[in-house]
Amino acid sequence: MLDLLKRFVRQEEGLEMVEWAIVAVLITSAGAITMLGIGRNVDTRFIDVLMTLRRANLG
């Protein structure tokens, strides 16, 4: 199994596939980090609006 992996990595096509896999992981990671940041911001804004509406109803 290890020999098969070594041959795969030695081949140019194998290296290109590994490079594209790394690019895909980086893009996916960046997207996930961005979505987490946006999600927290939306959550904070939603709570701000909810609290403003509650204060308006009480006042």
Report pLDDT for 34.
92
Using the predicted structure, report yes or no on whether residue 9 has a pLDDT greater than 70: no
pLDDT band at residue 1 using 50, 70 and 90 as cut-offs? confident
* pLDDT, average across residues 27-49: 91
Using the predicted structure, report yes or no on whether residue 2 has a pLDDT greater than 90: no
Which CA distances in Å does 16 have to 20, 22, 25, 40?
6, 10, 14, 37
pLDDT averaged over the chain? Answer: 86
Give the three-state DSSP class for 1. coil
Report pLDDT for 31.
94
Q: What's this model's pTM, rounded to 2 decimal places?
A: 0.54
Q: What is the C-alpha to C-alpha distance for residues 39 and 47, in angstroms, rounded to an integer?
A: 12
